[in-house]
Structure formats: C-alpha cells, structure tokens
Structure 1
Amino acid sequence: MNSPVFTSLIPVILFIAIGFYVGRRGWIRAASVKDLANLVFMVLTPALLFRTMSTVHIQDLNFGPVGIYFVAFGIVYAATLALQGFNTLGAARALANTFSNTLMIGVPLVGLVFGDAGLVTLFTLISVHSLILLTAATVVFELAAAREHAGQAGGTQQPMWRTVLQAMRNGIVHPVPLPIIAGLLFAQTGLVVPQVVDKPLLLLGQALGPIALLLVGVTLAFTKVGHQFKAAMRIALVKCVVHPVVLAALGWALGLSGLPLAVMIVAASLPVGANVFLFSQRYRVAEEEVTASVAVSTALGLVTMPVVIVVVTRWVVG
C-alpha cells in the first residue's frame, strides 16, 4: 500500500469521493456545476498547459506513441461502427468507446503517477486529441445523418467541406490545445517566463488537479443512470478495458516500451470524456445513454485505472 502507484491514486479517488459527497449533501447546486467547469477549462487548464509546455522543445517530443494511440482509436471506432451500423447511434457509441477524459481525470492522474515527464507526453496527445478525434467524429456524424435523412423533405444541409473546416477550427481555437501551442512556440524562442508571471501560473496550475477531480465527483452526484445502466456499462467496459488492451497490444507488437507508451495506455483507459455528450446532444441521439456512460465509466475507471497503472509501471516502464 506504500508503493508510489497507490499513494498517487489515493488522492484521485479521495477527491472524487469528496466531490460526490459534496454534491449529494447539496453544498453545491447542480446549476453551479457548469460555472465550476468553466473555471477549470477557461482559467486553470490554460495556466497549467502553457507553463508546462513553455520549457519543452519540439525536438524532444515523441509522437510515435501518440500515433499508436490514434491507430488504436481507429480500430475500436471502426469495429463499433461495423457492429452497430453506419448511423448516428453507431457514431455516438463509437465516439463514447474511444474518447477519453484526458483533461479532468487524465491530467491530475498522470501528473501524480508519472510526474512532469508524463504530463509532457500527455499534453503532446492532448494538443491533437480533440482536433483529430472530434474532426473525424464530425465527418462520420454528418455522413451518417445525411444517409439517414436521404430522401426526406426538409432544410438544406451545410456542405461537408464547411463542416469539416468548422470542426478543425473549433479543435484549435479552444482553451486546451491553444495554450499548448502557445507554450511550445514560446519555448522555441529560448526565453524564460518572468517570475512575476510564472508564480501565478504555477499556483493556478496546482489548483487544477484537486478542483477538476472534485468537479468529477460533483457531476457524478447529479447524474442519473437509471434504465440506461446496461448500455452504459457496455460502453464503459469497451472504453476502460478494451481500448487500453488494443493499444497495449499494438505497442507490444511493435516492440515498444517506456514512459510515453505507458502514458498512452493509461490515457486509453480513462473514462468517457464529456465532449461525447455534446455530439449526442447536437445530433439528438443517445443523449441519456451517453450521459449515463460518462458516469458509469468514471465509476468503473476507479477500479480499472489502478490495475492498468500497476501493469504499465511494472511491464511497460520497467
């Protein structure tokens, strides 16, 4: 129980549990959750991302494991579509099976277990995670929606090229990848962030982990699973178990090991990210199922993530 892995995981579980208790007690109202989320995404997250990446040189980044991550994503995503059918419901489930909560849970978890080196690897993934995955998902959703509405009377649809460009723009002009890109560009200048700026960034970044994890717990307290439990559990098992297994198998087949691959496997084992709900809401498909899958996969992840971390720290990192 005194191993670094378990001592790093205990705060993650504890903060989520405290947030859940706070929500259940009504100390934070459901209407305030969105405001807390905005604080995390718009203030704390950019501070941590920029400060961490402002000392990283591009030539030191390792994009190999990131590429494997997207190959694993493609395999699980395509397999889901093949089983569910090429429709908006299949697209929603495919995205839920593959889109990880890399920010709210991934950042504090990887930071505690792997330190700054692990965060740099994770931020390398995060810098293109939403851009690639959400752009690909947008194309699939639009094609599936067009197929479902083919022959039906109604309004005109936006051209595909415009939809893709808009998705790419939204993936870049965003409070997550934008500070990563800005930090990397600043690092290449050779300058150092002044102490008067660096200190506030440090304090804001340190607040991200606890507040983000508390927010996860609060969100769980207000999420109702109900009759969607079975469908949500199927998604949770694919997301938290199958996805990291596929990624680990690819890494093993290619003879890879080390910290970057370990971080990618852990990232693949993370629960379903909240962005999936935005897609289900936009296309009005499986909204309750996706909401339930976020909650169920988070609860399941508290069991599966420690197992994944123990395995990768012993056999991948060595």
Structure 2
Amino acid sequence: MDHPVVSSLLPVVLLIVVGLVTGKLKLIRQEAVRDLSNLVFLVLTQALLFRTMSSVHVQDLDFEPVSLYFAVAAALFTVMLLVQGASSRAAVIALSGTFSNTVMIGIPLVGLAYGKDALVLLFTLISLHALVLLTFATVVLELLSAREQSAEADGPPRHPLKSIGLAVRNAVVHPVPMPIIAGLLYAQTGWGLPDVVDRPLQLLGNAFGPVALVLVGVTLSNAAIGRNLTGALVISAVKTLLHPALMALIGYAFGLRGMSLTVLVVAASLPIGANVFLFSQRYQKAEDLVTASVAVSTLVALVSVTVVMTLVPLIAG
C-alpha cells in the first residue's frame, strides 16, 4: 500500500467504484447524469482551470521539455484520428489515447516517487496540459462536427472557410479555453487572487476530480461494458503503454535525459483523465466506450505505470 503507484491509483479506483455502486442502487438516476455532467464541466472545471492558470507566470516556465511532450501527444492524436476515419467520434477516442490524469494521479505519484524537484516540471506540464490538448481537441472536434452537420443538412455545402471560422469561434467561446485564457491573462497582472475569491475557487476545483470520477462510475453502471471491453482495452494500451513508449523514444532522440525525461514518460503513462469523459458527454460521442476506457485504463495502470517506472531509468540515465 506504500508503493507510489498503488497509493495514487487506488483512491481513483475507489471513487469510480463508489459511483458504480451508487448507480446500481439507483441513488443517482441516469436521468440526472447529464445535469451532473454539466455541473462538473460548466462549474467545477471552470473554477479549476481559472485558478490553476491564475498563478502561471509565462516567463518562469521551461517550455522546451513540455513542448516535446505536446508534440508527441499531437502526433499520436493525429494518427489515431486518421486511422479511425477523421470523425468527431474518432477525435474523442483520439483524445482518450493522449490525455493523462496528471492532477489526481500524477501529482501524488510523482511527488512520492521523485520528490519536489520533479513536481516543478510536472506543474509546468499541468499548467499547459488543458490549454494545449483540450483546446487542440476542441478545435478539431468543432471542425469535424461542422463538416458532419454540413454533410447531413440539405442544400449547398457550407464554404470551407466559413466552416473553419465557425469552428474556431466555437472552440474559443467554449467552457475549456475561456477560463484558461482568462486565468492566464489575469496571472500576468501580478495581482494574485484575493482570499475571498481564491477559497471558493479552490473548494470548487478540489471537488472536480472526486465528483467527475464518481460520475464515471454512475455512467459505468448503465454502460454496456462487455460490448466495449475490447475497445477499452485497446485504448488503455495505447494510453498507458504506446504513449509513454513514444515519449521515451522521441524524448531520448531529442536529447532529454535524467529527471526531465523520467517525469514526462511517467506523465504519458498515466491513465485517461476525467476531462475526456466530460468531452464525450458534451459532444455525445463514444460515451460508453470512453467511460469504460477511463475505468479500464485506471485498473491497467496499476501494472503498466509500475512497469514504466521500472524501465524508464534504463534510458533516462
């Protein structure tokens, strides 16, 4: 129980189990899931993202290692998207293969295993993680959704530039990028958040992880797990094995060594973050598959993250 992987992942597993039991007992009805999803996505996520970014000072960040992390994630996202046929559903699944649970699992895991110095790099990654990956995924999703809606509608097809313009607008005026951008802009003023504002935001942000994971369990109680188990295992393997393997190989090729390479490879090996589940709920794409994948990847990570943490010192030096 003192092993960093076990102590970091077990609380996540237990929260999903709590939601699963709650859903099976009908304490939270399926009809309420959409409302709870909106609560998490439109309230708790906003508080977490704004508060996280409100203390980020761009001049203090070391962009070189994390930029390589995002390049690897973007490349894997693109390959997964193209392999599945470049649809909005494929975009949600591609996000599942690239978006890690860096906060609830990553922070305690890296802190316990590697100490305070490693957390500095992880916090740099976390400060940009949602901004880069979720905004990128949102733009792709909006573009693909616009194309699909245009194909389904009667009449002449929408001009490509108009589709791109609408997609970019929808991606910016969106519950994910807006609090990130607002928080980042506020951080550059140097004012800091007054305690009377910071404390409520902290409480709301802290509620995001537990509520989102319980909601995963509730949704899981009504999902067709058997039908999605094979797909969930494939996505979990991509997220917890292929993603870190690519990060290790490309990071090593570009000269990353030591703690920088170790932290980024371990971050890539983490299971799927709950934000992907919320994306699937919001766009109503691959909901059962993503729900199953979040749960399965968390269980798989008990083994896969241990393997990655055992092997990464061999190349990190």
TM interval, short-chain normalised: 0.7 to 0.9
Comparing 297-306 with 207-216, greater Cα deviation is found at: 297-306
Per the alignment, residue 237 of structure 1 pairs with 237
How many aligned residue pairs are there? 302
Alpha-carbon contact 2:97-2:235 (below 8 Å) kept: no
Provide the C-alpha distance between the structure 1 equivalents of 2:130 and 2:197, rounded to a whole number of angstroms.
24
Alpha-carbon distance between aligned partners in 2 of 1:35 and 1:254, rounded to the nearest angstrom = 45
1:16-165 alignment runs, 5 A limit? 16-80=16-80, 83=83, 86=85, 88=87, 92-93=89-90, 95-99=92-96, 102=99, 105-114=101-110, 117=120, 118-139=122-143, 154-165=154-165
Cα distance, 1:214–1:80 mapped onto 2, change above 3 Å: closer
1:167-186 aligned at under 5 Å gives the runs: 167-186=167-186
SS in 1 for 2:221: helix
Structure 2's unaligned 5+ residue stretches are: 112-118
Please tell me whether residue 293 in structure 1 is matched to residue 289 in structure 2: yes
Match of 1:284 in 2: none
Q: Percent identity?
A: 36
Q: Are the equivalent residues in 2 in contact too, given 1:21–1:218 (CA < 8 A)?
A: yes
Structure 1, unaligned runs of 5 or more = 282-286
Higher alpha-carbon deviation: 36-45 or 66-75 = 66-75
Could you say which residue in structure 1 is the equivalent of 2:272?
Answer: 271
Larger CA deviation: 68-77 vs 199-208: 68-77
| Residues 53 and 74 of structure 1, relative CA distance in 2, 3 Å threshold | closer
- Work out whether residues 69 and 247 of structure 1, in 8 Å CA contact, stay in contact via their aligned partners in 2: yes
Maintained 8 Å contact 1:44/1:204: yes
8-17 vs 129-138, which moves further: 129-138
Say if 1:145 and 1:38 are closer, same or farther in 2 by CA, change over 3 A.
Answer: closer
Does the Cα contact within 8 Å between 1:15 and 1:214 map onto a contact in 2?
yes
Match of 2:11 in 1: 11
What's the CA shift for 1:291? 3.1
